[in-house]
Amino acid sequence: MKHFYSRGFPFHRGRRLRNNRNISHLITETNLSVNDLVMPYFLREEDDDQVAIKNMPGLKRFSTNELINELKIIQDLGIKTIAIFPKVDEKKKDEHGSESLNADNLVCRSLREIKNKCPNISVICDLALDAYTTNGHDGVMDRNGQINNDETIEILSKMALLFSANGCEIVAPSDMMDGRIKIIRETLEKEKFKDTIILSYSSKFSSNFYSPFRDALGSKKNLANSSKSSYQINFKNKREAIKESLEDQHEGADILMVKPAMYYLDIINELKKNTFCPIAAYQVSGEYSMIKHLSDKQIFHYKDVVLESLYCIKRAGADIIFSYFAKEVAEWLK
């Protein structure tokens, strides 16, 4: 904080600047644009009839064909980047999440279709095993119930190659294993995918706010009472979160992420002071659901609350925001 000398009232009247509409525009410190937004989408197999997402009203799971139509709409609204998350058929899940490396899995098929029909949309693909494992964990589990770090990052680096080969420009490891960015970066370089961007979920907390997402993916019942706290960060820790992001930057991440967003603004702000990398923030499923449910009950004015939430995330220092509100916000900003 700069040294602050005030002669006090009435020399200082802060309301002079707030009273005048034109001046208040001139002194606005934070801007929000459609260029800042990433819209996440849930994918389902064509023959999966579970379309609605119960705990995320207003959203649905898209078949690949439906997604292509949707992308034409959001492109007109100015959204250029999406993130995709597959709801994998339970029958295809196993202990090792082997469906993640199937060249014809839901993500790969969707990627090829998107690149073919909407080549100007950039696609961010999650690298983690929770969508593919029978136990709902982000990594493979040893017989003793421990998540095997080194085996997991080998699989993730193969996933990164597979998705890159199918047209994904941005891979996003969301698993919080140690050393994953290093191994993924080395693997991509070795196989000549020099331009694949790594957006690391680098400061990712073990959060209760992911619960509607896990429902949407069908990983919640698989995870049951098990916790991800052996790899995701304890929400009581700030320095540990910054250290994890800086390690990922050092290992070769191009973009860092803080997740969740709204209750973690101090983390975004602290990271901003400690890096020159672009910072993404993920306004997660639980944050979406809270605002949506209270708005549906007419307790909140939907549009105003959504915009406040996004402006505040930007004010804290985020350059990029993943938000389930992105499509609607793009309409409002137009």
* 128: contact with ligand PBG by CB under 6 A: yes
Q: Are 307 and 332 in contact (CB under 8 A)?
A: yes
Q: Segment near ligand PBG (CB under 6 A), from 100-108, 206-214, 236-244, 302-310? A: 206-214
Name residues contacting ligand PBG, limited to 215-234 (CB under 6 A). Answer: 228
Near ligand PBG by CB under 6 A: residue from 174, 202, 245, 323: 174
Q: Is 80 considered catalytic here?
A: no
Query: Of 87, 204, 292, 327, which one is the catalytic site residue?
Result: 204
Kindly indicate which of the ranges 1-9, 24-32, 91-99, 209-217 contains the residues binding ligand PBG, using the contact rule CB under 6 A.
209-217
- Binding of ligand PBG by 284 (CB under 6 A): yes
Tell me if 214 contacts ligand PBG by CB under 6 A: yes
Tell me how far, at minimum, the Cβ of 121 lies from ligand PBG, in Å: 19
With the CA atoms of 166, 171, 177 and 181 taken in that order, what torsion angle do they form, in degrees rounded to the nearest 10? 110
3-state secondary structure of 51: coil
Strand, coil or helix: what is 36? helix
Q: Which residue has the tokens 């891979």?
A: 171
Indicate which single residue of 99, 130, 248, 270 sits in contact with ligand PBG (rule: CB under 6 A).
130
Residue 167 region, left (φ>0) first, then alpha (ψ -120 to 50), else beta? left
Q: Contact 312/265 with Cβ under 8 angstroms?
A: yes
Catalytic residue among 259, 292, 314, 327: 259
Q: Could you give the C-alpha distances from 92 to 98, 105, 122, 184, 285, in angstroms and in order?
A: 8, 10, 27, 25, 25
Q: Of 62, 132, 193, 213, which one interacts with ligand PBG (CB under 6 A)?
A: 213
Question: Can you tell me which of 99, 126, 248, 270 binds ligand PBG, judged by CB under 6 A?
Answer: 126
Binding to ligand PBG by residue 244, rule CB under 6 A?
Answer: no
Residue 64 near ligand PBG by CB under 6 A: no
Six-digit token string for 162: 């597979």
CB of 117 to ligand PBG, least distance (A): 25
Number of residues interacting with ligand PBG: please give it, by CB under 6 A: 12
Query: What are the Cα distances from residue 330, in Å, to 32, 35, 81, 85, 110?
Result: 10, 9, 12, 21, 23
DSSP, collapsed to helix, strand or coil, labels residue 106 as helix
Residue listed under structure tokens 């619960």: 211
According to DSSP, the residues that pair with 44 across neighbouring strands are: 87
User: Residue 138 interacts with ligand PBG (CB under 6 A)?
Assistant: yes
Minimum CB distance to ligand PBG, residue 254 (Å): 18
Minimum CB distance to ligand PBG, residue 128 (Å): 4
Work out whether the CA dihedral 66, 332, 281, 249 comes out positive or negative.
positive
Contact region with ligand PBG (CB under 6 A), list: 47-55, 93-101, 103-111, 208-216: 208-216
Residue 55 as a binder of ligand PBG (CB under 6 A): the answer is: no
| Beta-strand runs (E) in the chain | 37-44, 61-62, 81-87, 122-127, 170-173, 197-204, 255-259, 279-283, 320-323
Residue 191 or 206 having the CB closest to ligand PBG: 206
Closest distance of CB 222 from ligand PBG, Å: 11
Note if 259 is an active site residue. Answer: yes
Binding site for ligand PBG (CB under 6 A): 126, 128, 130, 138, 174-175, 210, 213-214, 228, 284-285
Catalytic center residues = 204, 259
